[in-house]
Structure 1
Amino acid sequence: MIYRTYQPRLARSTTLKELPLSRFVEFLWIREGDNLPEAQSRLLPIGSMELVINLHEDRIPLFDPHTQAERGSTNGTRICGAHSEGFIINNERRVSAMGVHFKPGGHAAFFTLPAGELHNQIVSLEELWKSRATELRERLLEAPSLETRFLVLEQFLLTMLQPPKRHPAVDFALHAFKRSPTPTVKTVTDQVGLSTRHFNQLFRDQVGLTPKLFCRVRRLQHVLSLLAGQDQIDWLDVAFTCGYFDQAHLIHDFRAFAHCTPTEYVAQRGFHPCHIVLPS
């Protein structure tokens, strides 16, 4: 299987006419493979939105998060809103897909819909981009190589990019949460000078999660980054390093977001830290 990522190039200037894509997009990714084992995976929350394009067929199934049964589908291009719970995908024997991993709040440069309306939602990209979604997929299918596909996707995103209208309090909070491994939402709320209710609504509208949920998801992501490639794990040390009160607190968040314990996660993790391979 091939899994590659691509960092958007910086613009030569920072004028509004030439905004760098890297301000809003963390990376682009591509996944290709044949004769892969068929299974379902649970994708853990990442704290931001993700655009996914299935190049194998113009359809992506949706699954019930509890029964794992199929419950409909989207078109081959879809947008995954910011999640505070895991969702299930199907791993087919043949995979050909691309995606855009937006930075927290970065989707606002491409979509006008408030992010909170897509919380825990997955919708066809056509609902937001109309015919441009189909056009994007067709252009990618015409590209002769993986490298060319990255360039096609990058250029297409640049044509869709519009300067986002983000509240400075949200930008301040995102920077503060990124700087601190154990951020305190109350401290940041006090610093921006807004009421808790107003700030929570602003943040949810522009990021897709409340500040508290966002910080919990990012803390879990910190845990996953520490576990990458590790088999012998001091769970108490991990818990304290990532800002949990104790090991029980860590286990509670794993059950809430991943529907499993930390040790079950280590045994079932897939090719990516956010993927948990589910038993048949």
Structure 2
Amino acid sequence: MEAPRHDTRGIVDPSGLLNHVRFRRHEPAEPLRRYVEWYWLIDWDLPAPYASHIVPHPAVNLTFQWDGADERDAPYGEVTGVALGLYTRKLSGRGRVCGAKFRPGGFRPYAPEAPVSRWTGRTLPVREVFPQATGDTARSVVTPADDRGRVAALDAFLLSLPCAPDPQADLAIDLVRRIQADRTVRRVGDFAHARGLSVRALQRLFSTHVGVSPKWVILRYRIHEALEQAGSRSDVDWAALAADLGYADQAHLVRDFTTTVGVSPAAYAAGARAGR
């Protein structure tokens, strides 16, 4: 499996976020890498509140968090399913988050009793999904002073969970990776046929193991690419980008981007330039 990426794809205003928090990614223990993509750690100590905005990946996240003003405040854990819209997190004071991002398609081996679509659009206390977690679990993850200790605690908890190899999860992971990497994947029917699946079988696989439809995944990665282009370039040809991403025209790209991010591509690009 590949090492954690260092890009900021999906983060709205990445420079703003990185100016307000310490953000790191680390690899999980080798036995976990089949289904866990990376760990992500964030610490903050802010003089004024700050809101971060993310266009999430089609992935489930397990987080252990501490939002208190001092170490006496209780840490807690959550499981967050695929977020369908823009995810906003308001940060204030001091705090930290230690998260595990499962590979898109990789969560169900840890929670096989329900399709991953059950968690879509929801955030639940960790014990509702993993009864093995306790207050001591959250505390063991967030209290170490260094990254090594936090990563070791995440490894220990995840390695303690039952997880049987799941060929269907492996297939879902591979298909999502192909969609992410290949801009020519534009139509669900064509993609299913190329992989030797019926559209219905592909849709069932994604509902059970990814939590969203293959069409949703295709559209989300289009928005990620448009967000990346808008934030890093000052000369984006939106009509050409829309065509490259498989949109019928520029108007469809503008509509999807605005609906997801909250501002038009041009307005976002102007804001990104002003912040550079």
The structure-2 alpha-carbon separation of the partners of 1:120 and 1:264, relative to structure 1 and needing over 3 Å to count, comes to farther
Asked if 1:128 corresponds to 2:148, the answer is no
> For residues 157 and 169 of structure 1, what CA distance do their matches in structure 2 show?
22
The alpha carbon displacement at 1:85 in A equals 1.5
Is the aligned partner of 1:50 residue 2:50? no
CA deviation map 1:210-253 (0-9, x unaligned): 11011111221222333444345333343333333332121111
Aligned to 1:257, what secondary structure does the other structure show? helix
* 1:154-199 Cα deviation digits (max 9, x unpaired): 2322222512434276355334324422313212222455443343
Q: Is the 8 A contact 1:43 1:88 kept in 2?
A: yes
Partners of 1:224 and 1:3 in 2: how far apart? 20
Deviation at 1:133, TM superposition (A): 4.6
Instruction: Identify which range, 76-85 or 223-232, moves more after superposition.
Output: 223-232
Q: CA deviation at 1:32?
A: 1.0
Which stretches in structure 1 are left out of the alignment for 5+ residues? Answer: 12-19, 59-74, 270-280
Aligned counterparts of 2:125 and 2:118: Cα–Cα separation in 1: 14
TM-score scaled by length of structure 1? 0.76
What residue number does 2:217 align with?
Answer: 214
**1:113-162 Cα distance to aligned partner (Å, 9 max, x none):** 31111111111111011241533212124423223212221232222251
Deviation at 1:46, TM superposition (A): 1.3
- The CA distance in 1 between the partners of 2:121 and 2:181, in whole Å, is 26
Which amino acid is 2:23 matched to?
Y
The residue matched to 1:31 in structure 2 has which SS?
strand
Q: Distance in 2 between matches of 1:227 and 1:136?
A: 40
- 2:25 is matched with 5
Partner in structure 2 of residue 104 of structure 1 = 104
- Specify whether residues 191 and 241 from structure 1 end up closer, same or farther in structure 2 by C-alpha distance, changes over 3 A only: closer
Relative contact order, higher structure (CA 8 A, sep 6+):
1
State the secondary structure of the residue aligned to 1:149: helix
CA 1:220–1:36 in 2, change beyond 3 Å: closer, same or farther?
farther
- Picking from 254, 258, 269, the partner of 1:255 is 258
- Checking the alignment, whether the CA contact within 8 Å between 1:176 and 1:188 is kept in structure 2 is no
RMSD: 2.7
The aligned counterpart of 1:236 is 239
The whole-number CA distance in structure 2 between the counterparts of 1:118 and 1:93 is 29
1:160-239 matches, cutoff 5 A? 160=161, 162-167=163-168, 170-171=172-173, 173-183=175-185, 184-239=187-242
Choose 191-200 or 253-262, whichever is displaced more.
Answer: 191-200
Point out the more displaced range, 209-218 or 162-171.
162-171
Please say if residues 109 and 163 of structure 1, whose CA atoms lie closer than 8 Å, have aligned partners that are also in contact: yes
Question: Alpha carbons of 1:98 and 1:228: their partners in 2 closer, same or farther (altered >3 Å)?
Answer: farther
Q: Is the 8 A contact 2:188 2:199 kept in 1?
A: no
List runs of 5+ in structure 2 lacking aligned partners.
1-20, 70-74
Q: CA deviation at 1:55?
A: 1.9
Secondary structure of the residue aligned to 1:106 is coil
Letter of the 1:154 partner, please give it: D
* Aligned residues between the structures: 244
